[in-house]
Structure 1
Amino acid sequence: MRILLSSANRAVIKRWTGHLSATYRVESVSSVRELQARCARQEFELVLVHRALVDREGFSSLLDSCRGTRFFLLSDRPDEAEGLEFLKRGIVGYANAYIGRERMLEAIRTISNGSVWVGQKVIQLLIAEARKRAKERSPEDGERRQRLASLTPREQEIAKKVAEGLANLEIAADLNITERTVKAHLTSIYEKTGTASRLSLALLVNQG
């Protein structure tokens, strides 16, 4: 995987490079102009953007001009509302710019598998918003209910716990099963519901 790192802070670039260079092919840019030019050519599977490099309007413009590019936004001071806003705009990750090496590698593996990487509070905000919108029914509601109804009782139980924000280990402990069993159930749940991540499953459950 080719990853582009973007920050005007040399210490941040050095830190991220140290985290990733042994596992991925990484390159870096230090200006918004360079970032826009490289993203426009779609040379990278993932782009890490230091929030300090771009203002809110500039990043929104970048998202619009580089559709199809996967962006992982990292902030010196992560804000849940900002994370939620840009998640809805299409970013695939939001985290602290000073995230540790193992957590960053875990985040990128998660993103590579088609999921998103955000904090628990951002997920809870999304769920709360989904519940609020659930009162406004649409023609798609019947389809959502059918997909959830196709799950076995155990799968429905696990899906609800995912929607509550529980991690696999917590679900395993609650249901007195192994984490491996939880993962196996989730694979089946994703296939039956047409979802690809915990986030999309949580939204489906809370809207259904």
Structure 2
Amino acid sequence: MRVLIADDHDLLRDTLVLFLQANGDIETSTAADLAGACKLIDSEEPFDLILLDLNMPGMNGLEGLKHTLALNGGQRVALLSGEATREIAELALEAGAAGFVPKTLPAKSMINAVKFMAMGEQYAPIDFMTAAVEAPTHPLAEKLTPRELQVLQGLTEGKSNKEIARDLDISEPTVKLHMKTLYRKVGAANRTQAALIAREAGLF
């Protein structure tokens, strides 16, 4: 199975590659923007599935999805996003996307979703499409303050300190302070390890 992951956040992209390749039968290629993804689609053997980040350079919202779907006579393309609304997910599916994959999906669910979509099915998590967002009740989450959870979620989505600070409307030094305390609480030495621990635990 060949999967192309197109996302401009290095940490998230590398984390997804690690999880998918650890599964054994999934070969991955990566791109950091839409132009890079399209170049790979044109030059390489057909992919079984293409995962596109909604907010990476070149996407222009759902236009990038529609463009990629039409390449080379038709592609299986799924939308990947950490902040898309249910409405955007529904529009993507209506446009012909193979699925909508929240970046907060636990690792095992992500692998299952990729396989499901690569086999020709359409995927969207039922809880995302039908339920309101609820605060996690995970044991790991209970150790953290709501703000630390928000910072950790930003890490799992591959965001920089600057991006997390902007999203949460706080300063970068404050983000660093929250990171320091959450590293200690989850037993991580750095941001990559913290993101991996959170994803492996199914926290996001």
What TM-score do you get using the length of structure 1 for normalisation?
Answer: 0.54
Note the residue ranges of structure 1 that are not aligned, 5 or more in a row. 125-208
Q: 2:28 aligns with which of 26, 29, 32?
A: 26
Q: Which has the higher contact order (CA 8 A, sep 6+)?
A: 2
Tell me how far apart the structure 1 counterparts of residues 14 and 129 of structure 2 sit (CA, whole Å).
30
TM-score between both structures, scaled by the size of structure 2? 0.54
Does residue 1:70 correspond to 2:73, yes or no? no
Distance 1:26 1:48 in 2: 11
Aligned-pair CA distance for 1:27 = 1.2
Q: By how many angstroms is 1:69 displaced?
A: 1.0
**Given that residues 76 and 118 in structure 2 are in contact (C-alpha distance below 8 angstroms), is that contact kept between their aligned partners in structure 1?**
no
User: Greater shift after overlay, 9-18 or 54-63?
Assistant: 54-63
Deviations 1:83-103 (A, max 9, x none): 111111111110212322101
Aligned amino acid, residue 6 of structure 1:
A
Sequence identity (%): 18
Q: After the TM superposition, which residues 123-142 of structure 1 pair with which residues of structure 2 at under 5 Å, given as runs?
A: none
* Cα displacement (A) at 1:123: 6.3
Q: Which amino acid aligns with 2:49?
A: L
Distance 1:58 1:45 in 2: 18
Note the alpha carbon deviations across 1:120-162, whole angstroms, 9 max, x for none.
26766xxxxxxxxxxxxxxxxxxxxxxxxxxxxxxxxxxxxxx
Equivalent-residue separation in structure 1 for 2:107 and 2:125 (angstroms): 17
> Residue 118 of structure 1: CA displacement?
0.6
Residue aligning to 1:98: 104
Greater Rg by CA? 1
Within 5 Å, give how 1:183-194 maps onto structure 2. none
Q: In structure 1, what is the equivalent of residue 47 of structure 2? A: 44
Residue type at the aligned position of 2:93: L
How many residue pairs match? The answer is: 124
Question: What corresponds to 1:118 in structure 2?
Answer: 124
Change (3 A) 1:93 1:55: same
Amino acid at match of 1:110: F
RMSD: 2.1
Greater percentage in helix: 1
Structure 2 CA distance, aligned partners of 1:3 and 1:37?
15
Q: Provide the C-alpha distance between the structure 1 equivalents of 2:106 and 2:73, rounded to a whole number of angstroms.
A: 28
Structure 2: gaps of 5 or more residues? 131-204
Q: CA deviation at 1:66?
A: 4.7
| Partner SS for 1:94 | strand
* Structure 1 residue 67: Cα displacement: 4.2
Map 1:82-97 onto structure 2 (within 5 A).
Answer: 82-97=88-103
